[in-house]
Structure 1
């Protein structure tokens, strides 16, 4: 005669075993699939409790909520982190150049400004970093004040709508587009600096996003029109940089929120990458003739 150890009771009245743990008798069951489940395998649900397998299946098949730009809605927060970071970097660079020059009003005298502002001839000579660094330089307190106010007003909402990654791409590629326009069509030895090109890109992006949301783009268009007029009438402003940033921002935003960029977010990101590649190729070709 063989002795048997302790274990779950057998017989017609015995409790069923957990589907995932056969050694655990249970009187509980998943309210979705009906399989027996022990307390460790159940998760609270709006009605009853679901087993971990059903919870995992629901997570896999549930469609992810996305913003108008295709970013996961959970990736957005009420804090425009990218916009705040961009403003902080611009202000920090301005303070450093002002300290270096010994003057906030004549900070362009800083050797750091002259080493990093955008001069097409210098880009052609291999100093490609100027395409980006020039976008974080400003000539005097008024210049940076106007640009940072515009960046905050435009960026805080665009970032929340597009998501951090797509908003960052809109800003960065617009900056590159503004610099590309200057290199292609500007005077080879004339220096250009400022975040205005990227800010104009945000203006263009705002128009596209408002149209995608079926909201009136009228106020945004009026703002752009006023700024374009000011660009042509106030001496010293970079017409090429402003218009280059605006056109690039329109193209980038359209790639993100229209067509396959909305339904297949990765496609939109690839399209933006393609725009950036085209800009780099244009600069490379222009550099051969400068």
Structure 2
């Protein structure tokens, strides 16, 4: 007995599968495995992909991408700080981690790594070599924000990155958050360069993390959220800055000021061309900081 061939439609992606379903957009037959639920009926993968091309990716209130929810920027900052501390331990021994002095012996000692990367204006080393930012070692104004004197110093700073930093990265997106962090750290290091004695070295991520504290206040005010819980943290840090010996007051206050300026230019521009306005604002802050650097260098060399 002969059988008539089946006339049932087959899935356009799987010709061996018969189906009674069809894409509500292109009307091509699709099987159960290929169907994608839509507002009305089902759609095929190609129609869904085509429709997504016209959908703008979700942005934060300040124009940042939602990838900031993953915290990649904060993780990178913590990893870099950890790498520098590891290098300090390799070249300086266990006391680079703890037991070197300061804060009841909780800080680490100075090592070849900290001496290489800390903020230093213009001074001779014991071996007679001349070093410092004014001697052309401008990299110190960047590296100093990733170098900490021991594990306790690093943990205190990285705890703020892990909490306040993650919050700010979610609000701003990773690129804008990194701009804020780097401007705050750079501004704090430049303030240390400008206002400290030229032979006084200093380093620490606190130049940047102080900027994070004030940035949370700025961002929350812009969002009409309560910034009250952060105020005690700011006050505590300021008391700590002015009461504990051998703290870079200029570095902390410089990071605070630079962080506030960067947060303001990221938080308050509105559409249209918000990204352009934010970029120009950050560039202006950097120009001011660089001008202070050039002026200090000229003073030290003349």
Structure-1-length-normalised TM-score = 0.78
Long gaps (5+) in structure 2: 1-21, 101-107, 123-131
The Cα shift of 1:92 comes to 2.0
- Matches of 1:259 and 1:217, distance apart in 2: 20
The Cα shift of 1:114 comes to 1.1
What does residue range 41-120 of structure 1 map to in structure 2 within 5 Å? 45-48=38-41, 59-60=53-54, 62=55, 64-73=57-66, 75-77=67-69, 79-102=70-93, 103=95, 104=97, 105-106=99-100, 107-120=108-121
CA offsets, 1:107-166, max 9 Å, x none? Answer: 443222212111122111110000011112122332122112222121122111211111
Which protein is bigger by CA-based radius of gyration? 1
8 Å Cα contact 1:97/1:108 also seen in 2: no
CA offsets, 1:39-66, max 9 Å, x none? Answer: 69x9974225789899858854x55532
CA offsets, 1:198-220, max 9 Å, x none? Answer: 00011111111111221111111
- Matches of 1:249 and 1:39, distance apart in 2: 57
- Matches of 2:42 and 2:280, distance apart in 1: 42
- Matches of 1:123 and 1:207, distance apart in 2: 32
Aligned residues: 255
Structure 1 segments, 4+ long, off by >6 Å, are 49-55
Higher relative contact order (CA 8 A, sep 6+): 1
Aligned-residue Cα RMSD (Å) equals 2.7
Structure 1 262/168 Cα, relative in aligned 2: closer, same or farther at 3 Å?
farther
Structure 1 45/183 Cα, relative in aligned 2: closer, same or farther at 3 Å?
same
Long gaps (5+) in structure 1: 1-27
SS at match of 1:194: coil
- Matches of 2:290 and 2:204, distance apart in 1: 20
Report the counterpart of residue 245 of structure 2 in structure 1: 235
